[in-house]
Structure formats: C-alpha cells, structure tokens
Structure 1
Amino acid sequence: MPGLATVRQIEAVGFRAWPATSVHYDGTWAIRMTAAHPSKRLNSINPLDPADIRDIPARVERASQRFRAYGRRPVFRQSPLAPPELDDYLASRGWERLDETVVMTADLTAMDFAGTIDQIPLRDIGRYVDASLKVHGRDASLRAGFSELLNGIRPVKGMFMIEEDGQPVSVALCVHDGAMAGLFDIGTSRESRRNGHGRAIVASALKWAMKHGAKTAWLQIETVNAPGLALYEGFGFTEIYRYAYRESPNHEG
C-alpha cells in the first residue's frame, strides 16, 4: 500500500483530468456531479481523509439527497482515502460493492519508444468524440456530455485516433499535468482487436506525454479487464492502489 500522500496526488490529478461540472464538499467528502454524463467517476461521493468519520449516517443521507435531486442512484467511490468505518456502514445498509478498479503507474523515462510513431494529437474535439463513441460502441446520446467533459479539461490533453479505410478503429486520451500523464478512454473496436492497435496508440500517447515533460504515467482499469491489464503490464505499469464503488440499493439512498 502506498503512502496516503501518493494516493492524494493521483486522486487530485485524476479529478483535474476528468472534471465534474459540480463539486460540493461535506467535510472532506468531495461530492462530484455531472448531469450530462453518467460516468460514476463524474457522479460519486469521494471521501478524501480516512480520519473523517464525523456524523457518517447524517452525511450519507445529505449526499444521497443531492443524487436524488439529479435523478441518480447514490454512489460512493471508496479509495484508500475512505474511512473503513464508512465502508462498514455502507455495507451494513446494503450498499453493493462493485467495479473494483486498479490504479497503475509507470516510469516514462524507463520506456523504450524506438519505433513508436510520433502521432500528432487531434485538435477537433467533435471528431474525437465521434470516433470514441464509435470505437466503444456507445450511444450517440452521450455526445454532448462527453464533448462538455473534454472541453472542461484544463491540463494539456492529447486526443489520439487510429483509422483504417477512413474509419476509426482505436482511440486514446492522454492528459498531461505537470510530471504526471494520465491515460483515459483507451479502446479498440471489437472487429479490429488483436491487430496491435491498442499497443500502438498507447505507445504514441505515452511518447507524446514524455516529449512534453511528463515523468510518470498513470491509469485506472477495472480488475476484470484481463487483456487491458496485460497490455499495460507490458509497458511496465504496476499497481499502486485500488478503489471500488458502493452503490445504494435504491434511489432513496
């Protein structure tokens, strides 16, 4: 388990790289809400201090009320910064634990980018959004919300795409924030997998980040994604910590 300072650094970088449209604090709980996009990372309660255990039942109810107002099921994102007492309370109330996720980092300066293409990132957010939705097979109704999210990213971002026969087959988003570079939205269309596109686009994104001064790369991936874990381990990524979500058994919190 890393020190809490390391976890806090990565969590802060992650919040900047994947910004919610509304953030409210109850003590050290960051309540992130984004009406235009359903991502749990953008719509969750994020405890940021394991010592903050004051009035847990009342605060859970207050946070749940905010989610009800948005028409969303209340969700806590439980990283190592979340108090164990809170997790015990949520479990006792029937909040389901789901989507366990590994946070991984890698030393960019130790990577060998010989033979990696110097791909120029896209400038057109709309083009990237359309490519991402197609590659991931997501509904077109997410277009506006994803566009809003990308426009809201304040650190430098690189949007990468690989095409075949004029059609997008792989995408990657890299957000460069100081010495850190985060990978997001990595995907290859189902019919184009096992052709090396995933490795190629990740390598190009990481090379771009290193050339812009990043020293450490990081990412988040669900534990059930065995092919993705194998891909990133091949680049030298190792686990730093994990988080999971606790979802209310109903919309009433």
Structure 2
Amino acid sequence: MEFTAGGRLEIRISPADVGKRVSVRRLSDAEAPVAKFTDTVGVLTSWTGGVLVITRRTGESVRIPESSLVAGKVVPAEPARRRGPAADFQELSRVTARAWQPVESERLGEWELRASAGFTRRANSVLPLGDPGMPLDDALARVRDWYAARGLPAYVQTATGAAGTQEELCAELEARDWRAEVSAQVQVGGLAAVGDLDADVSRVTLSRSFDEAWLRRYQRSGVPGPHVLKVLGSGPSVWFASIAGEGRTPAAIGRCVVDSRWAGFMAVEVDPAYRRQGLAKAIMAALARRALEEGASAAWLQVESDNDGGRALYAGMGFRVHHHYHHYRAM
C-alpha cells in the first residue's frame, strides 16, 4: 500500500473527506522500541474530537486517534469484481426486497417501513434506500413509534462494502445508540454455473406452493400463521423445492424467486441426518434450471456472516460477496 511522495509518509486526508473511501496508516504501539503500523481501508464516516471513524466493508467501525496517524489518502471506490454478474447496490437491494415482501409497509420519504408480525428481520425492518424526507432524528423517532404501535422492536437494515452503500448511515445509527444485531453477506454468481452443478436432481420436487411438510423443515417460521405464508409466497415468480426423507418431513428444502434476470435462493435447509449427501446442491441445481428456463441469468443469495458451512458451500458454486448488510436495533 503506497503512502509516500518522494520517500516521505504523508497525511493527505482531512475532515472534509468524510464520506469518501480512504486508506490510512497509524502507529499501533507508540511505546514499542520499533515502530509498528496498522493499515485500515474503508469509508471515513466521521472525524470529530480528534478521532477518526472508518467503517470497513464488513460494517466494522474502527476508531483511530488523529494523533496516531502517520499517513492517509483518499482511494478509489471498491474495484469491480471480474467474476459473476455486474450489479449495483440499488438494483440488487430492490431485487432482494421484492423476493421477501412484508405483510404491511409504509413510505417515509424514500424509506420503506416493513412489518410482518415479527417473522424475520428482513420483513420487519426499515429499508432506507434514499432520503426519509426529514432530519434523521425525526425520521428515527417516526420509525420507533411505527414499530412500537405494532408491538415490534425498531430495526433499520443497512449495507456496507460496495459503491453507494450506507456506511455513513451506519455511523449515524451507532452514534445514536442503535446496535447491529445480525450481519450477513449478499452474494452473487452466474446462474448457469449453479444449474450445471453435478447433482442428482431427479429426487427434487418443484412446486409453485409449499405444504405443511415443507414448513416443518423450514427452521425459521415458528408458528406458521398467515403472516408467514404471505411472506414466503411473495415475489414475482416463486418456486419451492423439496426432497423427501424417511418420515413426514422433507430431507431438504429450498425456495427461489425469479425476477427478470435475477434468481434469488432462500430457505435452503437440509436435515442434519442427511447432510454431506449433496442434497443442498441438488435443490439449488433444480431451482436454477427452472429459473434459467424463465430467462434468468444471474443468481443471488444471502448468508449470515458466521455461517462458515454455508459460505464454503456457496463459494464452491461460484458465488462471491457483493456487499454486507446489517440490522440495527434501537436500544
């Protein structure tokens, strides 16, 4: 990482660069006999009181005393990846939202308040794609009241790590004592590669609807009331997949929503007794082939950042991280 000009370390950033992507080098141990440095790259989200806050692409905020800086510069936006379909944050955010629609929603400027009786954070959080049409503190007060009226905690879904994401909003929420409870990755890949997986799709049953057996395998539904059924059934073109097990509950299930060129994969779950038998690959391959028949060419999915097994599985299918998203809760 090059910080020098004519052999000298230089600090070429200032508070005026808040909101820009920067790279800084700081002294990590001022008392060490030999100078030790730490490099940090991310969006400069604040610079006040002699402290810089840099938000990394994963959403982690790093606080850096101005006195420890030895070098810094503005750097270009995250470079475009060569693998997988091209997509900007706004497009992908709207596609993912259409695949998991709430029971109830309301506009607050360009924000969307979403509620579904508490079934999943995605369907019970604010999607802030733009300006709420009022000062942030007023908007957050409206958000708290709207969710409180429904007996729900107030969540705001934000994103980091791609061009146009919401690092500054994350920093503003943290400054107001909102806390990130869950972080996940939005990954993208080529749909044909998923459809070409070497998997036995003959055992997979595809349907436009799901039944009680499918819901028994789905681990996130809780009591499957009308709100659960509505969210799961939402989307432009929805498909459900299952593989029969020995009992009344499927060995594996999955869900796919086709939306123009995109196919989104969700609810891919395998009974622990049937894992490492290729069932997840078979579910995804069967769904991908159906999506290809409908004209889709690109794939996306969401996986929680601490799900090492899922991330390894999807990496083997050619998926890569597009951006990270986080659910901030009002404390």
Q: TM-score, normalised by structure 2?
A: 0.67
What's the CA shift for 1:206? Answer: 1.4
Answer yes or no: is the 8 Å Cα contact 2:186–2:303 preserved in 1: yes
Within 1, Cα distance between the matches of 2:297 and 2:311?
21
Q: Which amino acid aligns with 2:175?
A: S
Larger CA deviation: 175-184 vs 206-215: 206-215
Within 2, Cα distance between the matches of 1:106 and 1:222?
17
Aligned to 1:22: 104
What's the CA shift for 1:210? Answer: 1.5
Equivalent residues in 2 for 1:119-158, closer than 5 Å: 119-125=204-210, 127=211, 130-138=212-220, 141-151=223-233, 153-158=234-239
SS at match of 2:94: helix
Residue 74 of structure 1 pairs with residue 154 of structure 2 = yes
Equivalent of residue 104 in structure 1, options 187, 192, 208: 187
Superposed CA deviations along residues 197-229 of structure 1, whole A, max 9, x for unmatched, are 112211211122112211001011101011111
Answer yes or no: is the 8 Å Cα contact 1:179–1:216 preserved in 2: yes
What's the CA shift for 1:136? Answer: 3.7
Within 1, Cα distance between the matches of 2:301 and 2:186?
6
Structure 1 residues 116, 106: closer, same or farther in 2, change over 3 A?
farther
Aligned to 2:73: none
Aligned to 2:114: 32
What's the CA shift for 1:109? Answer: 3.1
Aligned-residue Cα RMSD (Å) equals 2.4
Within 2, Cα distance between the matches of 1:217 and 1:104?
8
Structure 1 residues 174, 41: closer, same or farther in 2, change over 3 A?
same
SS at match of 2:88: helix
Within 2, Cα distance between the matches of 1:89 and 1:53?
16
Is the helix fraction higher in 1 or 2?
1
What's the CA shift for 1:150? Answer: 3.1
Structure 1 residues 21, 2: closer, same or farther in 2, change over 3 A?
farther
Answer yes or no: is the 8 Å Cα contact 1:98–1:245 preserved in 2: yes
Which gives a bigger RCO, structure 1 or 2 (Cα 8 Å, sep 6+)?
Answer: 1
Residue 219 of structure 1 pairs with residue 301 of structure 2 = yes
Residue 117 of structure 1 pairs with residue 201 of structure 2 = yes
Superposed CA deviations along residues 123-162 of structure 1, whole A, max 9, x for unmatched, are 443x1xx2343224456513432212234x2411110001
Aligned to 1:232: 314
Is the strand fraction higher in 1 or 2?
2
SS at match of 1:224: coil
Q: Which amino acid aligns with 1:221?
A: V
Equivalent of residue 242 in structure 2, options 134, 156, 161: 161
Question: Which one has the largest radius of gyration?
Answer: 2
Percent identity between the two aligned chains: 26
Answer yes or no: is the 8 Å Cα contact 1:176–1:182 preserved in 2: yes
Task: Give the unaligned 5+ runs of structure 2.
Answer: 1-77, 81-85
Structure 1 residues 241, 91: closer, same or farther in 2, change over 3 A?
same
Aligned to 1:95: 178
